[in-house]
Structure 1
Amino acid sequence: MEDTSPEKGRWFEHALEWESDSEHGDRPARCLITQISGTTASALPQVCYRRVDDPGGYRPSSIDIDLFPHILRRWLTPEETDRAEREARFRQHSFIASDLR
């Protein structure tokens, strides 16, 4: 079974959200984990993520860490990750380059 532990900087396909792709039509949304926040007094730890088609400017989407395996369809391959990084509409390119090296 595939590891479902979220890691900051890792790309995944979302099982419940879709994006439009001119080459492939509708496809599962590709998302980047931007942060894993700790427990607060009122919430479980959160996995924060942005979709490849997210223009940024707003807070990232998030989900309770224990629910993350339910939205993870699969992890992107290295080739798919490279493509998603090139196509990402949000301004995370400096984060990606600095955090993943």
Structure 2
Amino acid sequence: MRDDQVEKIQKLAEDVADDFILTTCAAINTDIHTKQGRGDKGFLYSIAQKQAGVLATIERVIALKNGKLPPISATPATQEKYEQQLIAKAEAEAEKLKQRLS
């Protein structure tokens, strides 16, 4: 993975973390005394749960790249392929969430 890609992934992690915080705060502040409020709260928490999953995936890629986690694969080539798959998956999920919240 190139250094510029690592920087982009770290920026992406910060953006997803910011969105996660905003969504969770909105869910916490949603009133549950009405049917609409309960539905809104559940919807916001489901978005927050997906954001947390995306953030965990991104952080795992960063940890793998920084050597904080042992590599999954036996060879550097297969490890690189695995990391690229994780990156693509995380970016796709983050983009879906950004479009949903826009």
User: TM-score normalised by the shorter chain: which range applies?
Assistant: under 0.3
Max radius of gyration: which structure?
A: 2
More strand by share: 1
TM-score by length of 2: 0.25
Query: What TM-score do the two structures reach when normalised by structure 1?
Result: 0.25
Structure having the larger proportion of residues in helix: 2
